[in-house]
Amino acid sequence: MTPTEPATVPAARSAAVRPPLPVKMVISGGFGVGKTTTVGSISEIEPLTTEAAITEVAAGVDDLTHTPRKTTTTVAMDFGCLTIDPTLKLYLFGTPGQERFGFMWDDIVEGAVGGLVIVDTRRLDDCYAAVDYFEHKGIPFAVAVNAFDGRVEHTLEEVRWALDVTDGVPVLVFDARERGSVRDALLVVLELALARTEG
């Protein structure tokens, strides 16, 4: 009950609240690679979880018709956000890990300015689907090797070779637990996205 309240409340109610412009980035990679940790390190809120529907396209290995079989699966998706200023808010969505399946994240990813594919060098193949997805969608992305316990088992050149990403895709090492490290990894992706608008 501050003295200003009676004056400000009616004004706030009559004028529509202008929401911030949302800018979306996607944090992707295999299961247990550190996506939620990454989101939590930079988010101003504890990462939230919601259920999202994804469409899995199973490769037609055991299907004589070779017709891709689509199934819709509900999966948990973690996300967080960071207010840049009252008119601009960055959202970070972690896509759940999917191994062995192609996947369609359109429901989450459509409209994203960029993506970060997190890699555990002990399980490189877990991130192929994410790399393929961003390449296919033409979304700017970087490959971020999560240095668990400060150790990386392959050089960045080996990772680049193994993932077969082009020179235009940055490959970097970061620590998902460190806010500054996550910030810098996101900045690499944003600079890439910016360069694309100017190129």
Give least dist CB 189 to other proteins, A. Answer: 10
Q: How far is the CB of 190 from other proteins (least distance, A)?
A: 5
Record the tokens describing residue 102, joined without a space. Answer: 């192609």
| Shortest reach from residue 184's CB to other proteins, in Å | 6
Q: Closest approach of Cβ 196 to other proteins, in Å?
A: 8
Contact 117, 126 (CB under 8 A): no
DSSP letter for 96, please: P
Q: Which is nearer to other proteins, 159 or 169 (CB)?
A: 169
Which CB, 119 or 186, lies closer to other proteins?
186
Nearer to other proteins, 50 or 155 (CB): 50
For residue 178, CA distances in Å to 75, 96, 185 come to 27, 21, 11
d(CA 2, CA 13): 17
Which of residues 24 and 29 has its CB atom nearest to other proteins in the complex?
24
Which of 82, 165 has the CB closer to other proteins? 82
Q: Count how many Cα atoms sit within 13 Å of the Cα of residue 150 in the half-sphere of its side chain.
A: 0
Nearer to other proteins, 55 or 160 (CB): 55
DSSP code per residue over 19-46: PPEEEEEEEEESTTSSHHHHHHHH-SSP
Alpha carbons 28 and 35: distance in angstroms, whole number: 7
Phi, psi of 89 (to 5 degrees): -135, 130
Q: How far is the CB of 24 from other proteins (least distance, A)?
A: 5
Which positions lie near other proteins, rule CB under 8 A?
A: 13-14, 16-17, 19-24, 42, 48-53, 74, 77, 79, 81-82, 84-85, 88, 90-91, 93, 106-108, 110-113, 178-181, 183-184, 186-187, 190-191, 193-194, 196-198
List of E strands, the chain: 21-29, 48-58, 69-85, 88-94, 102-104, 114-119, 141-146, 171-174
CB of 40 to other proteins, least distance (A): 13
